[in-house]
Structure 1
Amino acid sequence: MIPFLLIINLITFCVFGFDKWQAKKNQWRISENTLLGISLLGGIIGAASGMMLFNHKVSKKSFLVKFILVVLIDLVLLYRLMRH
Protein backbone atom coordinates (compact mmCIF):
# COMPACT_ATOMS: atom_id res chain seq x y z
CA MET A 1 0.00 0.00 0.00
CA ILE A 2 2.74 2.48 0.94
CA PRO A 3 4.77 2.01 -2.29
CA PHE A 4 1.59 2.54 -4.35
CA LEU A 5 0.75 5.75 -2.48
CA LEU A 6 4.29 7.08 -2.92
CA ILE A 7 4.22 6.37 -6.66
CA ILE A 8 0.71 7.77 -7.28
CA ASN A 9 1.54 10.94 -5.33
CA LEU A 10 4.76 11.46 -7.27
CA ILE A 11 2.91 10.93 -10.56
CA THR A 12 0.10 13.28 -9.49
CA PHE A 13 2.58 15.97 -8.45
CA CYS A 14 4.34 15.72 -11.82
CA VAL A 15 1.05 15.81 -13.74
CA PHE A 16 -0.03 19.00 -11.93
CA GLY A 17 3.38 20.53 -12.69
CA PHE A 18 3.18 19.51 -16.34
CA ASP A 19 -0.33 20.96 -16.68
CA LYS A 20 0.82 24.27 -15.20
CA TRP A 21 3.78 24.30 -17.60
CA GLN A 22 1.42 23.66 -20.51
CA ALA A 23 -0.90 26.42 -19.29
CA LYS A 24 1.94 28.93 -19.29
CA LYS A 25 2.72 28.03 -22.91
CA ASN A 26 -0.98 28.08 -23.95
CA GLN A 27 -0.60 24.47 -25.06
CA TRP A 28 -2.82 21.38 -24.80
CA ARG A 29 -3.98 20.87 -21.22
CA ILE A 30 -4.84 17.96 -18.98
CA SER A 31 -8.55 17.92 -18.16
CA GLU A 32 -9.72 18.79 -14.67
CA ASN A 33 -11.47 15.42 -14.51
CA THR A 34 -8.15 13.68 -15.12
CA LEU A 35 -6.45 15.80 -12.44
CA LEU A 36 -9.24 14.99 -9.99
CA GLY A 37 -9.27 11.33 -11.01
CA ILE A 38 -5.60 10.73 -10.29
CA SER A 39 -6.04 12.62 -7.04
CA LEU A 40 -8.91 10.30 -6.15
CA LEU A 41 -6.71 7.26 -6.80
CA GLY A 42 -4.67 8.27 -3.76
CA GLY A 43 -2.67 11.23 -5.05
CA ILE A 44 -4.20 13.93 -2.86
CA ILE A 45 -0.89 14.81 -1.18
CA GLY A 46 0.89 15.07 -4.53
CA ALA A 47 -2.00 17.11 -5.92
CA ALA A 48 -2.10 19.50 -2.97
CA SER A 49 1.69 19.88 -3.10
CA GLY A 50 1.59 20.55 -6.83
CA MET A 51 -1.23 23.03 -6.44
CA MET A 52 0.72 24.97 -3.81
CA LEU A 53 4.21 24.74 -5.32
CA PHE A 54 3.14 25.51 -8.89
CA ASN A 55 0.31 27.87 -7.84
CA HIS A 56 -1.94 25.77 -10.04
CA LYS A 57 -5.74 25.72 -9.83
CA VAL A 58 -5.66 27.47 -6.46
CA SER A 59 -7.76 30.42 -7.58
CA LYS A 60 -10.37 28.36 -9.42
CA LYS A 61 -13.15 27.94 -6.85
CA SER A 62 -15.08 25.24 -8.73
CA PHE A 63 -11.96 23.06 -8.93
CA LEU A 64 -11.16 23.61 -5.26
CA VAL A 65 -14.66 22.52 -4.21
CA LYS A 66 -14.33 19.34 -6.27
CA PHE A 67 -10.84 18.74 -4.93
CA ILE A 68 -12.02 19.06 -1.33
CA LEU A 69 -14.72 16.51 -2.11
CA VAL A 70 -12.05 14.16 -3.52
CA VAL A 71 -9.96 14.63 -0.36
CA LEU A 72 -12.95 13.78 1.84
CA ILE A 73 -13.73 10.67 -0.24
CA ASP A 74 -10.10 9.55 -0.04
CA LEU A 75 -9.98 10.08 3.71
CA VAL A 76 -13.14 8.00 4.22
CA LEU A 77 -11.78 5.24 1.98
CA LEU A 78 -8.42 5.27 3.76
CA TYR A 79 -10.15 5.10 7.13
CA ARG A 80 -12.24 2.13 6.01
CA LEU A 81 -9.19 0.34 4.59
CA MET A 82 -7.23 0.86 7.80
CA ARG A 83 -10.04 -0.63 9.91
CA HIS A 84 -9.95 -3.95 8.02
Structure 2
Amino acid sequence: MPSYIYWIWYLIIINFIAIITTVMDKHNAKKHRWRIPENTLLLIAALGGSPAMLLTMYAIRHKTQHKKFMLGIPMIITLQVCFVYYLFFR
Protein backbone atom coordinates (compact mmCIF):
# COMPACT_ATOMS: atom_id res chain seq x y z
CA MET A 1 0.00 0.00 0.00
CA PRO A 2 1.42 3.44 -0.88
CA SER A 3 2.56 5.50 2.11
CA TYR A 4 0.35 8.46 1.21
CA ILE A 5 -2.69 6.31 2.02
CA TYR A 6 -1.67 6.43 5.69
CA TRP A 7 -1.59 10.24 5.55
CA ILE A 8 -5.02 10.34 3.95
CA TRP A 9 -6.43 8.11 6.70
CA TYR A 10 -4.68 10.21 9.34
CA LEU A 11 -6.27 13.40 7.97
CA ILE A 12 -9.70 11.78 7.79
CA ILE A 13 -9.46 10.62 11.41
CA ILE A 14 -8.05 13.89 12.83
CA ASN A 15 -10.70 15.93 11.01
CA PHE A 16 -13.41 13.62 12.34
CA ILE A 17 -11.99 14.11 15.85
CA ALA A 18 -12.03 17.89 15.27
CA ILE A 19 -15.71 17.78 14.34
CA ILE A 20 -16.64 15.64 17.33
CA THR A 21 -14.70 17.73 19.86
CA THR A 22 -16.11 21.01 18.52
CA VAL A 23 -19.68 19.70 18.63
CA MET A 24 -19.12 18.23 22.11
CA ASP A 25 -17.75 21.53 23.39
CA LYS A 26 -20.77 23.40 22.02
CA HIS A 27 -23.15 20.84 23.56
CA ASN A 28 -21.37 21.03 26.92
CA ALA A 29 -21.45 24.83 26.81
CA LYS A 30 -25.22 24.80 26.37
CA LYS A 31 -25.64 22.35 29.27
CA HIS A 32 -23.18 24.24 31.53
CA ARG A 33 -20.97 21.17 31.79
CA TRP A 34 -17.20 20.59 31.66
CA ARG A 35 -15.72 22.20 28.56
CA ILE A 36 -12.92 21.07 26.32
CA PRO A 37 -9.94 23.38 26.95
CA GLU A 38 -9.27 25.90 24.17
CA ASN A 39 -5.65 24.75 23.94
CA THR A 40 -6.86 21.21 23.24
CA LEU A 41 -9.09 22.45 20.42
CA LEU A 42 -6.21 24.46 18.95
CA LEU A 43 -3.88 21.45 19.26
CA ILE A 44 -6.33 19.28 17.33
CA ALA A 45 -6.47 21.99 14.66
CA ALA A 46 -2.66 22.19 14.53
CA LEU A 47 -2.40 18.41 14.16
CA GLY A 48 -4.39 18.59 10.93
CA GLY A 49 -8.00 19.01 11.97
CA SER A 50 -8.16 22.71 11.14
CA PRO A 51 -10.33 22.54 7.98
CA ALA A 52 -13.08 20.49 9.62
CA MET A 53 -12.88 22.50 12.84
CA LEU A 54 -13.28 25.82 11.02
CA LEU A 55 -16.21 24.56 8.96
CA THR A 56 -17.84 23.06 12.04
CA MET A 57 -17.37 26.27 14.01
CA TYR A 58 -19.20 28.20 11.31
CA ALA A 59 -21.88 25.53 10.88
CA ILE A 60 -22.83 25.36 14.56
CA ARG A 61 -21.83 28.95 15.42
CA HIS A 62 -19.37 27.97 18.08
CA LYS A 63 -16.33 30.06 19.06
CA THR A 64 -17.05 32.46 16.18
CA GLN A 65 -16.81 35.45 18.54
CA HIS A 66 -13.37 34.43 19.82
CA LYS A 67 -10.52 36.16 17.99
CA LYS A 68 -8.17 33.42 19.16
CA PHE A 69 -10.12 30.96 17.00
CA MET A 70 -11.27 33.17 14.15
CA LEU A 71 -7.70 34.31 13.50
CA GLY A 72 -5.85 31.30 14.85
CA ILE A 73 -7.55 28.52 12.85
CA PRO A 74 -7.16 30.28 9.45
CA MET A 75 -3.53 31.02 10.38
CA ILE A 76 -2.98 27.34 11.18
CA ILE A 77 -4.54 26.36 7.84
CA THR A 78 -2.29 28.82 6.01
CA LEU A 79 0.81 27.45 7.72
CA GLN A 80 -0.26 23.88 6.94
CA VAL A 81 -0.83 24.71 3.26
CA CYS A 82 2.58 26.42 3.08
CA PHE A 83 4.22 23.41 4.72
CA VAL A 84 2.62 20.95 2.27
CA TYR A 85 3.56 23.22 -0.64
CA TYR A 86 7.14 23.35 0.61
CA LEU A 87 7.31 19.55 0.94
CA PHE A 88 6.01 18.83 -2.55
CA PHE A 89 7.09 21.78 -4.64
CA ARG A 90 10.38 23.06 -3.30
Structure 1 distance, partners of 2:88, 2:10, is 15
The structure whose Rg is larger is 2
SS in 1 for 2:16: helix
Equivalents in 1 of 2:21, 2:75: separation in Å?
20
Which residue of the partner structure matches residue 29 of structure 1?
A: 35
Structure 1 portions without partners, runs of 5+: none
TM-score (norm. length: structure 2)? 0.82
**Is 1:2 matched up with 2:47?**
no
1:18-40 per-position Cα deviation (integer Å, ceiling 9, x unaligned): 00001111111111111111011
Question: Contact 1:14/1:50 (CA < 8 Å) preserved in 2?
Answer: no
Q: Which has the higher contact order (CA 8 A, sep 6+)?
A: 1
Give the fraction of aligned pairs with identical amino acids, expressed as a percent.
36
1:64 is aligned to 70
Write out the 4+ residue segments of structure 1 that deviate beyond 6 Å after TM superposition: none
Corresponding position of 2:56: 50
Match of 1:17 in 2: 23
Secondary structure of the residue that 2:33 maps to in structure 1?
coil
Distance 2:67 2:61 in 1: 13
